[in-house]
Amino acid sequence: MVKATYILYIFVFILHPTVLLGHGDLHERIEVASEAIQIAPDSAELYLERGILFFQHEKYNESIHDLNYCAALNYNSQKLDLAFAKANLKLNNAQTALFFLDKILKEDPNHVITLRWKAKALMQLDQYTEAAYYFEKVIEKADKTFTENYMEAAFAWEYSKHERNIENSIAIIEKGIVDLGDLILFYDRLVDLNQLSGNIDNAIINQNKIIELSNRKERPYYQRALIYLSNGNIAAARADLTKSKEEIDKLPERIKKNNATQVLIKNIREKELLL
């Protein structure tokens, strides 16, 4: 009875560290799990949980070592397969990771976390088009989606050799704007992608949106000046450099003097000398 009570305590500590610690300390939790394993060396669950803790502690070989012990104790679960996949992917063993991920997806084709890790594994294998499809599946199947889902899908499309790679990348970012709203990081990506495709007009349209959304506009004006310069529109570039300087003049002295602002001022002066 004492042993069972202690093991229950260990699981509470490992799985819900905020019950006992403010944020939990991985090293301490690993030590506690190790003590528990000495008491119950036949507990597959303890090896699994310590393996997950090792993964969180970025000790991936130790993680796989524990996961192997767990599997040797005839433990079988999606949680174990996902842990194996994640640790192997961190060790650049993408093919091995895919074995475990596909095992999960065979049982549950809409397992969102697994879909995302499969996309990451495909990225590691330079299979960017396939990765993009899986990142898009994450967006489609998730109850709640996040900015990184759209960004990851967009990067996968960009890197792919698909004939519409940039168009697809732009489309998924535009979907992110529809789904999540006007976020500057989305418009930043659209600026980059449109410049990459040579569509300067659309790049400027999206940079205009960034200027509209930004509380501080000195840098967005400077960035639009660079876009105009890339297109040979010297008059518009000169006007935006002036606007950038005017925005800097409005800043508090402490911000004017910080390194980032001083670098921006230097860059503006250098560009003006070229005009």
- Give the model confidence (pLDDT) of 38-81 as tens digits: 999 999 999 999 999 999 999 999 999 999 999 999 999 999 99
- Residue 49 neighbours by CB distance under 10 Å: 25
What span, in angstroms and rounded, lies between the C-alpha atoms of 80 and 134?
A: 21
Closest alpha carbon to 228 in 208, 247, 200? 200
pLDDT of 200-256, one tens digit each?
999 999 999 999 999 999 999 999 999 999 999 999 999 999 999 999 999 999 999
Q: Let me know if 106 is exposed, middle or buried by CB neighbors in 10 A (0-12, 13-18, 19+).
A: exposed
Query: What stretches of the chain show up as alpha helix (H) in DSSP?
Result: 2-15, 26-39, 44-56, 60-72, 78-90, 94-107, 112-124, 128-141, 147-159, 165-180, 184-196, 200-213, 218-230, 234-249, 253-256, 259-274
Reported pTM? 0.85
